[in-house]
């Protein structure tokens, strides 16, 4: 099996990186991680990568004169590693338009809301404040606008009456760990393709019950 070569960009603990590492350890998984990049030397995710014998590199944004120079260094490292799909996994730097254009349709991101709702930061606080009954997470292709781009997969998570941001975030993170590897699987297997900036899926069409919160009693 020819496997899709992934480059994973991180800034922190790398929990979504860990879910991708676990998926890639399966013989029948159609992708492999060939490089992990971090903009922070103290990112815990670097330890996860090295423990899994995955090449890991630090490119510190503070060492560059501007964002374009930093983005160019990222591109050089990714290209040298033969990366075919970039996975943003808690990468806390905005990527420039030139970088996103250079890697168009080859960058995906995971965001802790049901996009297009609650783009940006402080997502869980805003969801609770808005009184939504369902939140969740989204894997999408990256476009120059923040948290914008064709949606690949989503998971809905109920917002409970006693939730604070931390509790809601923890439950949504569990869902992230499930859908990010699945998004990569769909792309790498050719079952998710882009047509006119919309993701077309070749998946089972079995009807699923709606997720309703609060639940309707029989």
Question: Any idea which residues carry the catalytic annotation?
Answer: 111
Helices (H), the chain: 15-24, 45-51, 67-80, 97-102, 123-130, 165-188
Contact 127, 113 (CB under 8 A): yes
Is the preceding omega at residue 37 within 30 degrees of 0, hence cis? no
Where does residue 84 rank: exposed (0-12), middle (13-18), buried (19+ CB within 10 A)?
middle
- As a whole number of angstroms, the distance between CA 15 and CA 172 comes to 12
- As a whole number of angstroms, the distance between CA 100 and CA 107 comes to 8
């Amino acid at each position: 099996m020819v496997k899709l070569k992934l480059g994973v960009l991180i800034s922190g603990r790398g929990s979504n990186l860990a879910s991708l590492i676990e998926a890639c350890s399966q013989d029948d998984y159609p992708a492999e991680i060939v490089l992990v990049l971090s903009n922070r030397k103290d990112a815990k995710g670097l330890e996860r990568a090295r423990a899994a014998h995955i090449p890991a590199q630090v490119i510190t944004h503070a060492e560059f004169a501007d964002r374009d120079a930093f983005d160019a260094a990222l591109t050089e490292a990714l290209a040298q590693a033969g990366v075919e799909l970039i996975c943003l996994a808690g990468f806390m730097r905005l990527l420039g338009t030139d970088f996103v254009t250079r890697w168009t349709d080859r960058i995906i991101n995971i965001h802790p809301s049901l996009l297009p709702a609650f783009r940006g930061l402080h997502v869980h606080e805003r969801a609770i404040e808005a009184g939504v009954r369902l939140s969740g997470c989204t894997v999408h292709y990256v476009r120059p606008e923040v948290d914008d781009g064709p949606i690949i997969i989503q998971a809905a998570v109920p917002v409970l009456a006693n939730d604070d941001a931390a509790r809601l975030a923890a439950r949504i993170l569990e869902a992230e760990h499930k859908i990010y590897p699945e998004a990569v699987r769909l792309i790498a297997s050719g079952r998710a393709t882009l047509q006119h900036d919309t993701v077309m899926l070749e998946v089972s069409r079995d009807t699923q019950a709606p997720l309703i919160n609060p639940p309707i009693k029989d």
